[in-house]
Amino acid sequence: MQPAARPFVIGVAGGSGSGKTTVAQRLARELGADSLSMLRLDSYYCDRPDLTQEERAAINWDHPDAFDWELFLAHVRDLIAGHSVNVPVYDYAGYERSGSTEQVVPSRVLVVEGILVLYEPELRELFDLKVFVDTDADVRFIRRLERDVADRGRTTESVITQYLLTVRPSHLQFVEPTKRFADVIVPHGGMNVPALDVLLARVRELVVHRPAVLEEG
């Protein structure tokens, strides 16, 4: 059943391995899965079937140009308008879309999560609350290393090389500067329980007192 009112939209940004997903999952757990939809920027990497896997592996996937912003923005707007969307399923091992999709349905709260969700002005304008998860670089790197080796079929050497060549420079150039757009900064990542409690309290207050305004169009 589609919601009658415009959802409360939260943008959660931060570096790779900062704990964005932990924050988003905590919001979902506290607010209730039926009350929250989540859209992840990681699902919207550009598909490059014209390139070999080696060529795709060499792309800077942490650069803004690596993402299909047109489709991502369209899906965010569709969910705000009360329409379900079919999200691409990305194959991280092959650096390509798998060809399948997963449906995301609209809910009372929409969380939009990803390293660069505060980068695009058009996207920022859609958020009712902008959050930046701020975590030390060494912690982010260790988390990324563990995740990519365990879940994405990468070698330790490839993760280190990618981090030094593209991840770290892109973070400093594109991700870190978006902190200035945040309404709330969560220091020390998703394991900062006191900060998350404050964030959750604020979200509950904003959601409860939000006027029921229908999305036009």
Dump pLDDT digits (tens) for 128-184: 999 999 988 888 888 888 888 887 778 888 888 888 888 899 999 999 999 999 998
Q: Which residue has the higher pLDDT, 127 or 192?
A: 127
Give the residue-averaged pLDDT of 26-31: 81
Dump pLDDT digits (tens) for 88-123: 998 877 778 888 999 999 998 999 999 999 999 999
Answer yes or no: is pLDDT of 48 > 60: yes
Dump pLDDT digits (tens) for 56-94: 878 888 899 999 999 999 999 999 999 999 999 988 777
Interatomic CA distance for residues 18 and 108, integer angstroms = 26
**The residue to which tokens 């959050």 are assigned:** 131
Distances (CA, A) of 149 to 92, 94, 153: 11, 14, 5
In this structure, which topology does domain 8-202 adopt according to CATH?
Rossmann fold (3.40.50)
**pLDDT of res. 103:** 96
**pLDDT of res. 209:** 65
Sequence letter at residue 91: D
The first and second tokens of residue 135, run together, are: 């975590």
Of 147, 52, 65, 151, nearest to 95 by C-alpha is 52
Sequence letter at residue 127: F
Beta-carbon-side half-sphere exposure of residue 132 (alpha carbons within 13 Å): 18
Element of type H or E holding 130: strand 129-134
Which residue ranges make up each domain of the chain?
8-202
Answer yes or no: is pLDDT of 216 > 60: no
Residues 6 or more apart in contact with residue 198 via CB below 8 angstroms: none
Interatomic CA distance for residues 29 and 72, integer angstroms = 24
Q: What are phi and psi of 143, to 5 degrees?
A: -60, -40
